[in-house]
Amino acid sequence: MSSSKTLLVLENFIAGKFVPCSSYIDSYNPSTGDVYCRVPDSGKEEVSTIQMYKKVEAAVRAAKDAFPIWSSKSPLERSQILNKLADLIEHDLEVFAQAESKDQGKTITFARTVDIPRAVYNFRFFASSILHHTTECTEMAAMGYLHYTSRTPVGIAGLISPWNLPLYLLTWKIAPAIACGNTVVAKPSEMTSVTAWMLCKLFEKAGISHGVVNMVFGTGSKAGEAIVCHPDVPLISFTGSTLTAQRITEKSAPHCKKLSLELGGKNPALVFDDADLNQCIPATVRSSFANQGEICLCTSRIFVQKGIYNEFLKRFVEETKKWKVGSPSDPTVDMGALISKEHLEKVTLHGVQLTSSFRGLQKVRNYVKKAQAEGARILCGEGVDSLALSAGNQKGYFMLPTVITEIKDESCCMQEEIFGPVTCVVAFDTEEEAIERANGVKYGLAATVWSSNVSRVHRVAQRLQSGLVWTNCWLVRDLNLPFGGMKASGVGREGAKDSYEFFTEIKTITIKH
């Protein structure tokens, strides 16, 4: 462990001020295994529950105090402030990208071209979209009545985000929440808090008044749950795992909170025999392994029609083997390090949460071992090829992109979200069969269809149980349109209109004239 003198020490950001915490947790650089920074553990040293909630209490109070002025600003004033904030992040894009890569293990290229530009765009997008919403009006002219709807901010928004796309997903929540006039208490993942802390340093310069955005760092069980249980936070926007969402739903139920839940996926790609493999193969390698396979939208089950199965498999493995794994700071590297040692020690088995004593049973790597034990074949990656790492990365959490085949649909590798660089390829005969098997999991987030038959593409897209369907492409987003999952992949949608509806309350007013 590095000397604590040289470590970055984060502080909570409450009412426009950085506030030290009495206890801290270590956050690691996944590519070296060294401690990168110390993150406030709001309440760890405190004994009583009431003490534990103090940091969150202060943040909620600050958000409450800031609400009357912020919510009464015009959309145009808020829009100008959001645009200013976007400019400030963009000005520091490289510094943010370096920090995100170090904190999360993702490649510097991914952070530079995806994470931070998207964080900038989130603010620009909602700065613009907030200016264009309209409400409804209907008349009962003969009876002398006029009805119209009015939208107002909900109040204090509790925003909780995961570690895989840290600033990208946190700003996807903060931007619409404050654009709509809410104030915020946010909690990023304890494993990737650095860029959220850096963002707080820009608020004042952008014109965001004190208390409008408060950032409380710490673990989910303490800081996160304190936000979820706080009676003065009427809305929770959460992105993370399905298991955590179940707990949040339970904890928020007594307060009847407004919930938006963006959860896990076990995303299928359906490759039909008329697919353009020159496009499909590189795109499916990317959709399986981008960001170390740590994107909720990553493909992890690839169904290939029998006529092209052998060709697909051969070319897919060849293309996967070209992916370079190594130091995230090397711009020629395609895949960096997985988030943490603990993530390698996956905590669910057949969908059941394991107690800590079972941790390590199901590492991301162990999913591969389990598949092997079941008779599946590992075509490349984990346990098959060797991984050469430079001296500085020997203690990092690296793994090769791994392709599994000859695996049953019931296998946990085909049913559970592994959230790592592991994908399974299996064959199918008919369209009907492909749809049924693609739908045969508890998740329903994102599917991909590859075919040059337009009728088929429409037909299959309609029948897939999936919040998003990409055909002959992957990860192309228009933020105007709804984002979210079906089944265990989520509740609610976010996007221009959907976020506006979620972050505001609607009222119907009737006037007798």
Q: What are the catalytic residues? A: 262, 296
Spatial separation of the C-alpha atoms in residues 83 and 70, rounded to whole Å: 16
Contacting ligand NAD within 474-493 (CB under 6 A)? 485, 490
Give the shortest CB-28-to-ligand NAD separation in angstroms.
Answer: 14
Spatial separation of the C-alpha atoms in residues 466 and 444, rounded to whole Å: 4
Spatial separation of the C-alpha atoms in residues 222 and 41, rounded to whole Å: 8
Shorter beta-carbon distance to ligand NAD: residue 182 or 241: 241
Question: The tokens 């943040």 sit on which residue?
Answer: 59
Question: The tokens 């697919």 sit on which residue?
Answer: 275
Shorter beta-carbon distance to ligand NAD: residue 181 or 264: 264
CB atoms within 10 A of CB 394: 10
Of 115, 345, 417, 498, the residue at the interface with ligand NAD (CB under 6 A) is 417
Of 21, 116, 130, 160, the residue at the interface with ligand NAD (CB under 6 A) is 160
The counts of H helices and E strands in the chain are 18, 27
Shorter beta-carbon distance to ligand NAD: residue 124 or 187: 187
Shorter beta-carbon distance to ligand NAD: residue 167 or 427: 167
Task: Tell whether residue 421 is a contact of ligand NAD (CB under 6 A).
Answer: no
Interaction mask 51-80, ligand NAD, x per CB under 6 A = ------------------------------
- Do 226 and 50 meet the contact criterion of CB atoms below 8 Å apart? no
Task: Tell whether residue 328 is a contact of ligand NAD (CB under 6 A).
Answer: no
**String of DSSP letters for 379-412:** EESTTTS-----GGGTTS-----EEEES--TTSH
Spatial separation of the C-alpha atoms in residues 238 and 251, rounded to whole Å: 13
Spatial separation of the C-alpha atoms in residues 323 and 330, rounded to whole Å: 13
Spatial separation of the C-alpha atoms in residues 384 and 333, rounded to whole Å: 20
Task: Tell whether residue 419 is a contact of ligand NAD (CB under 6 A).
Answer: yes
DSSP type of residue 123: H
Task: Tell whether residue 341 is a contact of ligand NAD (CB under 6 A).
Answer: no
Task: Tell whether residue 287 is a contact of ligand NAD (CB under 6 A).
Answer: no
Residue nearest to ligand NAD (CB): 220
Spatial separation of the C-alpha atoms in residues 127 and 129, rounded to whole Å: 6
Interaction mask 234-253, ligand NAD, x per CB under 6 A = -----xxx--x--xx-----
Shorter beta-carbon distance to ligand NAD: residue 326 or 490: 490
Interaction mask 436-455, ligand NAD, x per CB under 6 A = ---------x----------
Give the shortest CB-132-to-ligand NAD separation in angstroms.
Answer: 24
- Do 43 and 218 meet the contact criterion of CB atoms below 8 Å apart? yes
Task: Tell whether residue 296 is a contact of ligand NAD (CB under 6 A).
Answer: yes
Calculate the CA dihedral of residues 90, 96, 101, 102 and round it to 10 degrees. 170
Task: Tell whether residue 224 is a contact of ligand NAD (CB under 6 A).
Answer: yes
Task: Tell whether residue 260 is a contact of ligand NAD (CB under 6 A).
Answer: no
- The runs of H, that is alpha helices, within 442-493 are 454-463
Task: Tell whether residue 105 is a contact of ligand NAD (CB under 6 A).
Answer: no
Question: Contact residues for ligand NAD (CB under 6 A)?
Answer: 160-164, 169, 187, 189-190, 219-221, 224-225, 228, 239-241, 244, 247-248, 262-265, 296, 417, 419, 445, 485, 490
